[in-house]
Amino acid sequence: MSASPPELNKLKHVAVIMDGNGRWAKERGLPRLEGHKAGAESVRAVCQACIEQEIPYLTLYAFSSENWKRPRHEIDGLMSLLERFLKTKMKEFNKQGIRLHAIGRLDRLPPKTRKALENTIERTKENNKLNLILSLSYGSREEIVDATRDIAMKVAAGKISIQDVDSELFSDHLYTANFPDPDLLIRSSGELRLSNFLLWQLSYAEIYVTKVYWPDFRGEEFMKAISEYQLRHRRFGDV
């Protein structure tokens, strides 16, 4: 079999399901929140690896719509941790050229968290080395429902025709309309499911699963995923 053309395996966008924080903490006799704190360092390491590899887009599944079902004290701890992360990483983001974005039903976030998020997005908007996209209060089924509702309202209002609705128009109404679809999905901790993450956008993505928990997933583990991706023969339905 001939090798894939180099341009097919040029990575533009990596998506990550950051899984295993709780189990990492439990195995060490620590509170679950300590696993999330340790996982924040893996975020830093993976961002740095993306910059070094000139990968312009990185999407991290940070807080799902289902995560709102967790105990109140854990949700509060996660929101506080996110606020701290945003405030303490601002200078580093600007130094490294990281531009922050967020997707999801962000109106559900606590006001303080949303304010910190909006502030970081605004103050990093001129950076161009890496687009870091946080999926917060995010669920792909909800995203698809929101897009469908938006399109239906436009059809009803006569702004677009039903004949105009195709996959491209639908993509333009998703939260990710301004970003390319991911080329590679990485999931840590060994779970073999998508967990309601980017169901539409991951249609043609390569999937890499590792048993390594997210707090232990650093630059070396990221490069293993990239190396595996480069070995894949991406046909996109062709032969």
Cβ neighbours of 180 (radius 10 Å): 12
Q: What is the mean pLDDT of residues 212-221?
A: 98
- Read off the pLDDT of residues 44-80 as tens digits, 9 standing for 90 and up: 999 999 999 999 999 999 999 999 999 999 999 999 9
What domains lie within the chain, and their CATH numbers? 6-139+182-231 (3.40.1180.10)
Per-residue pLDDT reduced to its tens digit, 22-47: 999 999 999 999 999 999 999 999 99
Alpha-carbon gap, residue 87 to 112, rounded angstroms: 12
Where in the sequence numbering do the catalytic residues fall?
A: 19, 67
Q: Distance between CA 35 and CA 215 in Å, rounded?
A: 7
Residue identified by tokens 């599944």 is: 61
For residues 162 and 90, give the distance between their C-alpha atoms in angstroms, rounded to a whole number. Answer: 44
Phi-psi region of 209 (alpha: psi -120 to 50; beta: other; left: phi over 0): beta
Q: With a threshold of 0.75, does the pTM exceed it?
A: yes
The one-letter amino acid code at 4 reads S
Residue 41: CB atoms within 10 A of its CB come to: 12
